Amino acid sequence: MAKRFGGKYSPGAPQVQSGKTSPGGRAPARPRDTVDPVGARANLMFLPAVVLLFTSLTQGALGLAFGLAGTAALTLGAWLLRGGLQAEAAWAARKVARRPAMPRKIAAALMAGTGTTLAALSHDGNLIAAVIFGVAAGGLHLAAFGIDPLSDKGMEGIDSFQQDRVARVVDEAEAHLAAMRDALARAGDRRVIDRMSRFQDVVRDLIRTVEDDPRDLTAARRYLGVYLLGARDASVKFADIYARTQDTQARDDYLALLDDLERNFTDRTTKLMMDDHSDLTVEIEVLRDRLQREGVRLE
């Protein structure tokens, strides 16, 4: 009698997550693809500073002084650009966000122009030409990388005090996630890093839910604060142990902890979304009753 071939990798087969079958045979959440907001273009902005440093060594005392100052300005500009790109990416990723406190990309353009002016002065004493080069470099920098977000996003009609509370909790949660990611990089286990990426996606789902409705902060604050702090400490301890011993039992225990945490965070997010739906249903029913009392009949 013919028998259909199948296995754990065949279509419709139960999905396995950390050695266990996920409930309902559903595949675990796939990590979201993320792109480094800095990129190669921003990293190349450190190159002019290195070139200027070495070419200034053959100049006289005044030329060397201008060259070193220009090197410092160009390096500072490249560093500010990296921070500005990261802040812009974080602003764009959130539905509700305040503009960056410091316009780093604009400051980076100013440093690029200043550095270029000093570089020109170190090789040619013509001040007017050096200023022209500096203005051109600053303008090209702005054209290539743009400016920082200069306005808040998604905050119209939202209580600023409540939103500030949400922003503080979200920033704290993102700091914990970053610490966990950095700690696991020391462990060097690709399976654990991928598993952490899925857990972080679940955490960010909860973060987005709270950002959409700041009233959910009270219910989610323990998850985004206390639970993530404990997960961060556990990640640091695991990374220290696994980097030294490569203990597979420690890895399995840590993966089991991530499974439990992910399940709890998923349940909390689902509960918040169900509560929001219930609130909307109640509001609709109240509005329907009010319209009917006013003589408006709804089919």
pLDDT tens profile 250-268: 888 888 888 888 888 888 8
Q: How far apart, in whole angstroms, are the C-alpha atoms of residue 212 and residue 95?
A: 7
User: Taking 50 as the threshold, does the pLDDT of residue 103 lie above it?
Assistant: yes
- Given a cut of 50, whether residue 248 has pLDDT beyond it is yes
Bigger pLDDT: 291 vs 39: 39
pLDDT band at residue 8, thresholds of 50, 70 and 90? Answer: very low
Greater confidence (23 vs 265) lies with 265
d(CA 106, CA 98): 17
Q: What kind and span of H or E run contains 180?
A: helix 160-187
More confident residue, 76 or 270: 76
Residue 118 has what pLDDT?
Answer: 94
Mean pLDDT for the chain?
77
- The Cα-based distances of 146 to 41, 106, 143, 204, 264 in angstroms read 13, 8, 6, 27, 41
Using pLDDT thresholds of 50, 70 and 90, give the confidence band for residue 294: low
pLDDT digits (tens, 9 = 90+) for 139-191: 999 999 999 888 877 666 555 666 677 777 888 888 888 888 888 888 888 88
Under 8 Å between Cβ of 183 and 254: no
Percent of the chain with pLDDT over 90: 24
Reply yes or no on whether the pLDDT at 22 is more than 70. Answer: no
**What length does the chain have?**
299
Phi, psi for residue 297 in degrees, rounded to 5: -100, 130
Q: Do the Cβ atoms of 171 and 165 come closer than 8 Å?
A: no
